[in-house]
Amino acid sequence: MAKYREIAVLSIVPGIVGILILASWALAYRDIGPTFVNAGIALVATLFGGYLRFILGFKDIFNRKITVNVFVTVALIATIAVGEFRAAAVVVFIMAVAGALETYTLDKTRRGIRNLLDLTPKRATIRHNGEEVVVPVDEVQIGDVVVVRPGGRIPVDGIVVGGQSCVNQAPITGESMPVEKFKGGEVFGGTLNETGRLEIKTAKVGPDTTLARIVHLVEQAQGTKAPIQNLADRFTVWFLPTVLVLAVISFLTSGDIKVAVSVLLVACPCAFAIATPTAVTAGISNMARHAVLIKGGVFLELANKMDVLLVDKTGTFTFGKPKVVDVVAFDGISEEEVLRLAAIAEKYSEHPLARSVMNRARECDIQVPDPDEFKIEIGMGVTARLDGTKILVGKNEFLRDKGVPISEHIENMISEQTEQGRTTILVSNNLKPVGLIAIADEIRHETPRAIASLKAMGIKNITMLTGDNHKVAKAVSEEIGVDDFQAELLPEQKLQYVEKLQKQGLVVGMIGDGINDAPALALADVGIAMGAAGTDVAVETADVTLMNDDLSRVVNFMDMSRKVLLRIKLNIFFSIMYNIIGFILAGFGMLTPVLAVIFQEAGCITVVFSSTLLLWSKTGSRLENEDSGSLPVVPLTVENAMRENVSQCV
């Protein structure tokens, strides 16, 4: 209902103007009442529908700028001056329809940042006089001890003073793996406590929290983004003086002021005014059908000028979920047996790494019996027993402390996995090491191909930004083929990196999905959010949203940006041709002011038809059409090939 209500509101002005024009025409056609009545109605329609154009036109004149508004103002004043009120009203009607269309297109998806702080709980549990009391989060004071149970969101920034747990802080820091939190560890408001009970001494509340500071950064960044001047305005800078000279020449040669007015009207840039919004509307509608939401035509223009594309790693290049990517067995033990033993030990664990092991066991149809005994040592590993067999799974230090001999060869294999950005857990059976399991954030299978396609489309540099450590970032960047990477970045640092590139005169695009990406998304010339899995703030802040989290849709968006800009230029060409023909006819007195308006309206219809063709245009993504030869295909690595088939087992 809100959508139709918005359309109805935008239709009020052109609707009223249209009704007044019909009333004026009907009175004149039926010869009802004095002439000044129907002329007055047409004049009211002109002033009612065109007052904003007049105001903007005079402002631009005062500021010494030649724009479409200046052109329309001059043409309307001249038309009214010679008594062609109805012709002036028709011009205003056409401009009102074009303005409503442009407003609806550019603003329908743009909303203010709302519900940004929904990640922060509204209430918090604090320890007071030995008891736990639930209070509104606004009443929590610095120094209060906040209790957060497993599965709960942390309401404040603070320091852990009791308990141990894994905390998923990807929304704030961008880290792909949950972080172990012990006494003395720092936590952020809005992050998720996954496994254990935590007692947190409050250090920051309200506007001082990390999440609140991100809100401020987003608002500040949004206020610095300047719009690109409309192509029609740039064309009008030299077109208006030319038309004025032709109008004067027409008057001097014909001696008829109406001939000069007809020249102004036939050249009235209605077609120029709708050349951009109609093409943009069609392009945006086309992309919406391909699960890409674009929040304004300016971003289609900027995308075609993009020099650098910055991409967040977690949730964008990767799924943001740990997955078993390799199983290595020792001394003749089968890989399936290594995975089975690990799954037995991890069956009752809620740790994210444990869940990835269980998921891999399910993919391989491994039957996992319940352990007879189970004990977890947070941050280190798990001990389990089954039928007298003692199973240990965890860090190499954990197994060594339990009496498991760790050879230099095993240490080297762990180092090799670490260099590839993977987290490694060892598995032992009765104090004998039997294998290791490597776990990493899973890379989206379309990522390498999408990057190759974007490079083929002319993006000079693709850089990965991440809060992960340097080794993980390096491993991922090498696998997917980006030009560069920046690791261990906080939200402020991502923002600063965007600012640095923009100060170098580069047009910067940014792709992200989390709250930690929101400031950079807002400041970037083109901010692109991975929508389905992204946070609300990222989607609200971004200029383009990939609704189905398919990175290849960025290729579609880039291709459409080229087609839209080409269509805009083609529309302007059509307008010029109509103007040239109209100039000739009007200059020889073959067009009255009303016929001049009708002729230039024909140009508008041509432009609308031209733009409508974009609705059925196909974008050239190599990822969508494997038979196409337009874009290159990147061979998958062995590890990527494994990911292509989720049913493949160890």
Hey, which residues are catalytic here? 312
> Directed axis angle between helix 257-266 and helix 553-587, to 10°?
170
CA 479, CA 495: separation in Å to the nearest integer? 25
What span, in angstroms and rounded, lies between the C-alpha atoms of 81 and 376?
89
- Residue carrying the six token digits 């874009």: 631
Separation CA 202–CA 141 (nearest Å): 7
Q: Which two tokens stand for residue 151?
A: 């599965």
Amino acid identity of residue 594, one-letter, is V
Nearest CA to 436 among 391, 374, 375, 393? 393
The residue written with tokens 């709980």 in the block is 121
Q: Is the dihedral of CA 14, 15, 16, 22 positive or negative?
A: positive
387: left (phi over 0), alpha (psi -120 to 50) or beta: left
CA distances from 479 to 444, 555, 623 (A): 11, 20, 18
CB 88 within 8 A of CB 76: yes
Q: Are 458 and 307 in contact (CB under 8 A)?
A: no
Q: How far apart are CA 343 and CA 322, in angstroms?
A: 15
Residue 47 exposed, middle or buried by CB count within 10 Å (0-12, 13-18, 19+): middle
DSSP state string for 526-555: EEEEETTTS-HHHHHH-SEEETT--TTHHH
Edge-to-edge, what's the strand order for the sheet holding 123-128?
A: 131-136, 123-128, 145-148, 198-204, 157-163, 186-187
State the Cα–Cα distance between residues 591 and 232, nearest whole angstrom: 25
- Burial, 49: exposed, middle or buried (Cβ in 10 Å; 0-12, 13-18, 19+)? buried
